[in-house]
A and B are shown apart, each in its own frame.
Chain A
């Protein structure tokens, strides 16, 4: 298999295509594409942008992993968005109330995060397994509802603390925070290490354990897996819960290293980004990391476009084009490979029909 080609070519093609398409859009709107791209890349080396990009990529990476676990089972967990925000608000409340010694406090917070993410993912999982409700629809509803839950819990009548104009949960004590790694003018989240470990665990689970094999098998074909003794319903439930558990960690880098509390104005939409990042990385842990970095770069650098009077939404268009063209590119390359393979076999058979044994390529 020409695996490097099937793996690396499509994303590169997609990025090139997206660059060309957005360049056309930029020219139509009367801006200079070269200047725009130059400004975006130049921004990367200004101040703490590079470190910020990696920090944001850490968040996207976790979100992408959460989505990818569902994808392996052919489950479409759009609900990462809801799960991570639910976990964030619950963890922020409990973490802020706990009084524990340094390391134990962090561990307790992480456990709460995973558990609450799982809890919110359990709703669509149970509905799907017992009632056959499409997880796509139910998670979308739960994504919307979580906005209400956050607003309700952050309310001063419940757990919110008013500080100035902003209302958020009580700050997590010093003992519950994860120290950052100072680099240049910025500070890298300590959570980068944990995210990398989770990525490794994900890879190990999928490729080196029986559970991972069964997960992939039932994702490929439920009936075939059932014939092999895999309970598809159980796998759906577990995959959804695992996905929710990882989703629960998505907000943790920012919560434990930067914000220390969660409010209505806290960032959102990370869950949807995770879908795109997982698609970009083809569910492979290293691929997801690259996708997350690219996405974070586009997000962080787009801000600089305002300086040259270019709408920063061009980055969103670019992201949308990349996602769509990357899946199309994979398909085109797959078809081209298939056609090449067929031609090769055809040549080998037609050329020396008598000596198939020599044409070892077949």
Chain B
């Protein structure tokens, strides 16, 4: 084809344009580097401490299952906050989603459950939009009210609908779960690799194996939603307009963007994603059926993952993976595994200190050394951590990560701002 040559005249060797002096690393490569670094740190920690659970197939599998609701909530938060609405009501919408999923799945199978969960979550999102966009209620106030309401409505409906079926107002009858699929050929090879106990390779194999065995369609959908969200929000006209509502609604309005409509659509999508997050608690094999209080603050953790990810799809994927991993690890390995994770954190801090020294950031390096020393002291003096505190590993990780990482964050400019058409 000749058109290709016409369209790309610069391909001919010597006429390359001058590159900008410092080229930014593309996002996906950055993510891959961070991922490999994380696996490397875990591999060293697992080798040094002898705790294989750090990178076992089981841990990775559990982590993936636990990361899903957080990931979906974080995506929901992304859609809302990119349109300028703070959505702290994710938790309530998620609770509505869990009930919807159980109800739909009980009556019409898993897919009906998924759809009903999305619809219930979206209803919560719609309510949040009515309160915040139309009535200009403070976003956080409305979110808290929706959390209350979501809990109340789900409990009430569960009492009404599930009690005759299961005899227990706090629980639904057993519901069908998604079928799972494994890449059998690949996973056999990977488990062979894992059994060889070679540093790094076996660890990587273990984690990958956990990610490709017994994957449910919902898992695939959830993970696919990350690039889809990126594409829609950053590569389409609709996404640009939606984000402009979150950055500067007055300017968007002056350019003819219907700000109210975009915020409503964003909130409905946000609620639907949170509802899907609820569904991922109910409809995945290994998870419970509808159970009162099963969301256990995951909506909030999702919001934290999104903030950690700097309001970007790739970043929030990393955040969700981190929190899911912390949760999966404590569930699969208990106190010893968490201690080994501390060892990994010490290694990571050592790397960070080296980087900071290289950059001549003396104070940051000193703080890093102190932190690493403290963590190592905890690791050295304890054989096991208090079992009462272990379930909160993910929360501790969230707090520490936010404290360390939240410095170069840039939220959408008009995030949480009250906006009325025609007013400045």
| A interface, CB within 8 angstroms of B | 25, 29, 76, 78, 127, 131-134, 136-138, 140-145, 147-149, 151-152, 155, 272, 275-276, 279, 311, 313-314, 316-321, 323-324, 327-328, 331-332
Contact = CB atoms under 8 A, between A and B. Distances in A.
A332 B134 CA distance: 11
Contact of B136 (A136, A138, A145, A331): A331
B142 interface: yes
Contact of B156 (A132, A272, A314, A331): A314
A132 B138 CA distance: 21
Contacts of A279: 141, 144-145
A155 B390 CA distance: 14
Nearest to A325: B145
Interface stretch (B56-64, B252-260, B297-305): B297-305
Contacts of A134: 307, 402, 406
A137 B155 contact: no
Contacts of B403: 127, 131, 133
B163 to A, nearest CB: 9
Given A137-B303, A142-B399, A324-B145, A319 B389 contact: no
Contacts of A144: 296-297, 392, 395
A319 B307 contact: no
A212 B159 CA distance: 46
B354 to A, nearest CB: 22
Contact of A317 (B88, B149, B395): B149
A78 B155 CA distance: 22
A328 B389 contact: no
8 residue pairs, one from A and one from B, having the closest CB atoms? A320-B149, A316-B152, A151-B388, A320-B148, A324-B145, A313-B156, A152-B388, A317-B152
B66 to A, nearest CB: 15
Contacts of B406: 131-134
A327 B399 contact: no
Max chain B Cβ within 10 angstroms of own Cβ: one of A279, A313, A317, A331: A313
Given A151-B388, A331-B136, A145 B396 contact: yes
B149 A138 contact: no
A138 B389 contact: no
A319 B399 contact: no
B225 interface: no
A107 B420 CA distance: 51
B135 interface: yes
A327 B159 contact: no
A331 B389 contact: no
Given A25-B156, A29-B160, A152-B386, A138 B402 contact: yes
Contacts of B303: 136-137
Given A136-B88, A137-B304, A311-B160, A316 B151 contact: yes
Given A276-B144, A311-B159, A324-B146, A133 B402 contact: yes
A320 B152 contact: yes
B137 interface: yes
Contacts of B88: 136
A319 B169 CA distance: 20
A121 to B, nearest CB: 14
Interface in B370-407: 386, 388-389, 391-392, 395-396, 398-399, 402-403, 406-407
A320 B91 CA distance: 14
B112 interface: no
Nearest to A131: B403
Given A141-B398, A155-B388, A327 B156 contact: no
A332 B144 contact: no
A313 B88 CA distance: 22
Nearest to A332: B135
Contacts of A319: 148, 152
A327 B388 contact: no
A324 B92 CA distance: 13
A33 to B, nearest CB: 14
B226 interface: no
A276 B146 CA distance: 11
Contacts of B152: 313, 316-320
B402 A145 contact: no
Given A137-B402, A324-B131, A145 B392 contact: yes
Given A138-B399, A148-B391, A331-B136, A131 B148 contact: no
A147 B388 CA distance: 9
B153 interface: yes
B129 to A, nearest CB: 13
B140 interface: yes
A131 B149 contact: no
Contacts of B389: 145, 148-149, 151-152
A249 B101 CA distance: 40
B273 to A, nearest CB: 19
8 contacts: A127-B399, A136-B303, A145-B395, A152-B389, A313-B155, A319-B148, A319-B152, A323-B144
